[in-house]
Every structure is written in C-alpha cells, then in structure tokens.
C-alpha cells in the first residue's frame, strides 16, 4: 500500500493535520490559563480532525467543531467549576489543605520570617510567620492563615480553643 494518496484523500489528510495542530495549540493555551474553557475548543478541534480524516467536507468539519465545543462547554464546564469551588463557598466540610487553613497549631521550633516547625493535628509542618517581625516560641499556639506549598503561614492564635 502506498503512503502517497492523490485527490480528496490528500486534502482530508491535510485538513485533519491542521485541526490536530489547532487542538494541540489550544491545549497548550489552556495550560497557561486556569479557566477550563479553551480545552473544550481543543476537544472540538480534535473531533473536527476526526471528521476530516473520515473525508467530511470543510463545512461539516466546522459544524462538528462548533457542536462538540459548544456542548462540552455547556455540559462539562459547569460540573468542573462546581467541583473547583472551595468548601467555604459550597458549605461542605473542607478537606486537605483547605481544612488546615484556619486550624490551630502548636509551635515546636521557633517560628519567624525564615523558618519554624509546628504541629497541626499530629502532623509536623514547616512554618513561617505571617508578619515577618513576629516570632513564636515553642509551646505557643498559632493559627494557620494560609498554606503555601508545604509551608504553613501562621499568626498568633487569638481565638479560644474549640
């Protein structure tokens, strides 16, 4: 079987490759955003590439692109966005890092702007002072304000124990 094909098959191959290039470009574009929108157009371009590979005319390819993109944005994006909201927004019980933020901790090694170690619910965490001028000594109670990577940003715990 020859790899070289003439006529409509060659045009369909070129169109399919162009749609694939568009799909890849859109997927790469999505990697630089946090919108979960562009990826659905990449899926539409991928579907249009499939239509082109099957020999569909350009108008049908564009219709496939529009339908798949529109349906996936309309059907899948709301589900993804709903699951992306924080527990505070949805009223659900927080878990993971979201559950750690706002919790109390005990200082194990002095915490300042550059280093420190705390214990949160039995787990050891590196910590930094929220205000670079504050220092917390071992045994003090602090409150986790934010988690950045594997480091808890803490502040003096002014809230009573619950």
The predicted-structure confidence for 90-107, as pLDDT tens digits, reads as follows 556 555 666 678 889 999
Give ∠ CA 146-38-48 in degrees, rounded to 5: 155
Do the domain assignments include residue 3? no
Say if residue 18 is in the same domain as residue 70.
yes
Per residue in 1-35, pLDDT tens? 334 444 555 667 899 999 999 999 999 998 888 77
Do the domain assignments include residue 51? yes
144-148, long-range: CB < 8 A, 24+ apart: 144/100, 144/101, 144/102, 144/103, 144/104, 144/105, 144/120, 145/101, 145/102, 146/101, 147/97, 147/100, 147/101
Final residue before a domain boundary, out of 27, 58, 84: 84
Reply yes or no on whether the pLDDT at 110 is more than 80. Answer: yes
Final residue before a domain boundary, out of 44, 61, 84: 84
User: Which residue range(s) make up the domain with 66?
Assistant: 8-84
Say if residue 112 is in the same domain as residue 76.
no
Q: How many structural domains is the chain composed of?
A: 2
Say if residue 29 is in the same domain as residue 77.
yes
| Other CB atoms within 10 Å distance of the CB of residue 101 | 17
């Amino acid at each position: 079987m020859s790899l070289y094909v003439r006529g409509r098959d060659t045009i369909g191959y070129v169109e399919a490759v162009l749609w694939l290039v568009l799909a890849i470009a859109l997927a790469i574009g999505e990697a630089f955003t946090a919108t979960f929108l562009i990826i659905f157009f990449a899926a539409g371009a991928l579907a249009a590439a499939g239509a082109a590979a099957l020999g569909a005319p350009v108008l049908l390819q564009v219709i496939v692109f529009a339908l798949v993109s529109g349906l996936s944005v309309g059907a899948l994006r709301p589900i993804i966005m709903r699951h992306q909201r924080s527990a505070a927004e949805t009223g659900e019980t927080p878990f993971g890092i979201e559950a750690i933020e706002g919790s109390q901790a005990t200082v194990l090694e002095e915490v300042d702007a550059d280093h420190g170690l705390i214990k949160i619910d039995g787990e050891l965490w590196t910590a930094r002072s929220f205000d670079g001028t504050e220092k917390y000594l071992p045994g003090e109670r602090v409150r986790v304000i934010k988690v950045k990577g594997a480091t808890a940003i803490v502040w003096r715990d002014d809230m009573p124990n619950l």
